[in-house]
Structures are given as structure tokens and as C-alpha cells.
Amino acid sequence: MRGLPIAARLYVAAVIFAGISLFAVCAPHMQFQQPLLFMALLVLSSASAALKVHLPLTASKSTMSVSYAVDFASLLLLGPHETMLVAAGSALSQCTQNRKDPNPLYRTLFSIASLVITIQTAGLVFAALGGTRMDMSLAAIARPLIGRSRCRHTRG
């Protein structure tokens, strides 16, 4: 972090501090009512963190991790508190797995902290706008995820 300008160092430190503080405040509210679904989303998010979608938005090679889709689903299914761990797991995987050069600790902490802040903010806005968490079991969510229809065609 010594190579960064002072303003950048302050920003990185502020984001890390805010993320750690928010995690500490929100962690006691984790309920883990669906531990199997939580574990499945955590593993899926961490495993998909290395998969990238290339975005043709800029001249540079911008990418987005596939794990964000899993994090979004987790936010809807589990709520923001448990999703903090799902997103933190994906950020940790993305920062440490399949890397030629290891990321400095501050980059990994910044990535995790920024996702904690993002997840909690999204959860707060979602709840403020009247959104509620979906209570679905792993079995109930598997059908739409794999695209299997419940309807049966009848012959007429």
C-alpha cells in the first residue's frame, strides 16, 4: 500500500474499516435458517468467482465475475446478513485462487469489505422499498435453476 498516493491509502483504509465495522454490527443478526442452501450458495459463489464475463463497455478489458449472480440470488434467498459471508467467500476465492502473483493483503481486504458494504446497502434499499426475503428450500430452488418445468403437457 506504500506505493499508493496518500488519498488512495486513506480511501482503501476507510473502505476496509467501514466493511469490518459493518460486518461486526450485522454478524450477530445472521440466522442460518437454511444451512444447506447457505452452504450450497457459498460453495457455488466461491467456485464461480474465477469465471469471468468480458464486458464490451470500454476499450480496456473489463470483466465481471459470474459469482455476482450467485451473490444476488443469495441476497434474495437468504438476506443480506448471511450473504455477507457468501460474497466474502467469493471475494476471497477470487483474490487468492489461480493467481500467478498473490494479491497484497490490503487488496483482498478491500475486495471483501467493498462487497460487505455493497450487500448490506442493497439489502437495506431492498427492504426499504418493501422487498422481502424468499423462503425457498434448496429443493424448491433447484427446479428453476436447472430449468425443469413443473407443468406437464397433456394430450388433448
**β-bridge mates for residue 54, sequence order:** 63
Q: What is the pLDDT of residues 12-23, one digit of tens each?
A: 999 999 999 999
Backbone angles phi, psi at 63, to 5 degrees: -135, 165
CA 100 to chain centre: 23
Neighbours of 96 (CB within 10 A): 12
User: In the prediction, which pLDDT does 120 show?
Assistant: 95
Q: Which candidate, 92, 94, 88, places its Cα nearest to that of 116? A: 88
The span from the CA of 84 to the CA of 64, in Å, is: 18
Q: Which pTM was predicted?
A: 0.78
Q: What is the pLDDT of residues 39-51, one digit of tens each?
A: 999 999 988 887 7
